[in-house]
């Protein structure tokens, strides 16, 4: 099979060399974007008088035929044609004859592939934002059902203070909101057209880059042809945003894994998102959460891989940049799958309110309430902290909790204690009273839910 660029070559590469250099095994993912870009390019060629309307019609009809066949999974790609661009051009020529070879007038594969990836990420970024919304909705719905569900809050993975379970879930809602903002903000840099930049220097043909950009729905064009074909910042930004989002999902995955363990038993995952053991019949493993936690490293790797590919490249295009696609495709697949899985996992998760309630009544996470109580009565907080620390030590030595101490013991520790201390020590009251802005108090959590709902609308 003759190469479409082979005019000056007298020798063909061996098959294994072709396979090493080809990208069609993965860049066929861009087939619809490549056709979309070509349709805009040929329309612009006609508007600018570069091609006759007869040629434009023939080429456009041929591209639409290829698009239909692509959507039906009927296209057969060849390694000999290297990449998606040459494969489609060869198919177009087979479909409509030599006139198909006019399509590549006034463009290069360099601006063509860049255009394809801008179109691809534009579509996938919209999809990711929608999937983030779906996971946020799942978190919000679960939070609405658990405003007054109380569980131990942790620092250093040690019991710290009782909090609303809804408040804990909403922390991830706001993390995802920032992720969504980052993807949304990056959209303006994705939605920029490199088409018409040529190989690196523009073209002598009287093209109108703004016209093809308009046809493709781009908001602007690259101002510099060298930058247009060599820029991969928009992919790096997508990979960076994805990495940060996966870090957030991994943290939630880790907590989910802990919560459904025998040691915690705070939640139970639906069977649809769990697996069993081939040897231990009793096991119910949180494999989907573990996979998301594990796949986070994969997404990080794609980011660092592309950063390393680009770090020493001179302008403009270099074959190294063929390595920009597989990590991008893999990241899209990974993050969209992770978001879908997590939305289902949260929606179907059973919350063990009884276990959480027992947990907060069997620890010292209400100790800060005692210190705050004394501070509110005028005792310097540092002194209050010391008093309560001694009371905790007394409880540890006696094998009881703060609420089990007698009034005499409280009075002995400090005369400021009154009978109302037993109300203050109740986990429900401890959570309810934390009504500072953004706190875990029930009124604050309800306000946060209202604000979250308005954002999703």
Catalytic residue ranges: 156, 277
Report which secondary-structure segment, H or E, holds 113.
helix 109-144
Q: Widest CA span of the chain, in angstroms? A: 101
- Running DSSP on this structure, what letter comes out for residue 75? -
Q: How far apart are CA 82 and CA 111, in angstroms?
A: 17
For every residue of 207-273, DSSP letters joined together read: --HHHHHHHTT-SEE-S-HHHHHH--HHHHHHHHHHHHHHHHHHHHHHHHHHHTSTTT-SEE--GGG
Q: How far apart are CA 112 and CA 41, in angstroms?
A: 10
Q: How far apart are CA 325 and CA 314, in angstroms?
A: 19
Angle in degrees, CA 317, 319, 321, rounded to 5: 70
Q: How far apart are CA 123 and CA 290, in angstroms?
A: 28
**Cα–Cα nearest to 227, from 204, 205, 203, 197:** 197
For residue 282, how many other CB atoms are within 10 A of its CB? 6
The answer to whether the beta carbons of residues 268 and 260 sit under 8 Å apart is yes
The alpha carbon of residue 197 and the mean position of all alpha carbons in its chain are separated, in whole angstroms, by 31
Backbone dihedral angles phi then psi of residue 412, each to the nearest 5 degrees:
-65, -35
Q: How far apart are CA 339 and CA 281, in angstroms?
A: 30
Beta bridge partners of 220: 192
Strand 158-164 versus strand 150-155 pairing type: antiparallel
Q: How far apart are CA 160 and CA 273, in angstroms?
A: 30
Backbone dihedral angles phi then psi of residue 267, each to the nearest 5 degrees:
-135, 165
Cα separation of the two ends of the chain: 55
Q: Label residue 434 left, alpha or beta by phi (over 0 means left) and psi (-120 to 50 means alpha).
A: beta
């Amino acid at each position: 099979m003759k190469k479409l660029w082979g005019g000056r070559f007298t020798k063909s590469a061996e098959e294994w060399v072709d396979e090493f250099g080809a990208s069609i095994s993965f860049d066929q993912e861009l087939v619809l974007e490549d056709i979309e870009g070509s349709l805009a390019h040929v329309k612009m060629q006609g508007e600018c008088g570069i091609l006759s309307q007869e040629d434009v019609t023939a080429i456009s009809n041929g591209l639409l035929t290829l698009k239909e066949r692509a959507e039906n999974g009927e296209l057969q790609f060849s390694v000999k044609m290297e990449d998606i661009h040459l494969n489609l051009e060869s198919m177009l020529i087979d479909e409509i004859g030599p006139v198909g070879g006019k399509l590549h007038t006034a463009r290069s594969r360099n601006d063509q592939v860049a255009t394809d990836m801008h179109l691809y990420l534009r579509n996938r970024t919209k999809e990711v934002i929608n999937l983030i919304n779906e996971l946020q909705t799942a978190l919000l719905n679960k939070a609405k059902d658990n405003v007054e569900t109380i569980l131990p809050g942790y620092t250093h993975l040690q019991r710290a203070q009782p909090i609303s379970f809804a408040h804990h879930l909403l922390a991830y809602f706001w993390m995802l909101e920032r992720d969504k903002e980052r993807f949304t903000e990056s959209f303006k840099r994705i939605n920029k057209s490199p088409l018409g930049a040529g190989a690196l220097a523009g073209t002598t043909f009287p093209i109108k880059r703004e016209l093809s950009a308009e046809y493709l729905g781009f908001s602007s064009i690259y101002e510099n042809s060298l930058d247009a074909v060599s820029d991969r910042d928009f992919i790096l930004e997508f990979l960076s945003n994805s990495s940060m989002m996966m870090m957030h999902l991994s943290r939630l995955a880790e907590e989910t894994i802990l919560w459904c363990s025998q040691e915690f038993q705070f939640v139970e995952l639906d069977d649809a998102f769990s697996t069993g053991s081939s040897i231990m019949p009793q096991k119910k493993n949180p494999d989907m959460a573990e996979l998301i936690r594990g796949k986070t490293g994969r997404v990080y790797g794609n980011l660092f891989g592309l950063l390393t590919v680009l770090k020493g490249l001179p302008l403009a295009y270099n074959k190294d940049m063929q390595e920009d696609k597989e990590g991008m495709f893999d990241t899209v697949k990974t993050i969209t799958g992770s978001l879908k899985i997590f939305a289902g996992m949260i929606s179907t998760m059973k919350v063990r309110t009884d276990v959480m309630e027992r947990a907060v009544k069997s620890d010292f996470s209400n100790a800060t309430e005692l210190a705050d109580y004394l501070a509110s009565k005028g005792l310097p907080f540092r002194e209050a902290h010391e008093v309560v620390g001694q009371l905790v030590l007394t409880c540890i030595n006696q094998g009881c909790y703060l609420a089990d101490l007698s009034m005499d013991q409280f009075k002995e520790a400090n005369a400021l204690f009154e009978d109302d201390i037993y109300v203050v020590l109740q986990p429900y009251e401890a959570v309810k009273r934390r009504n500072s802005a953004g706190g875990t108090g029930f009124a604050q959590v309800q306000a946060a839910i209202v604000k979250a709902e308005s954002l999703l609308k």
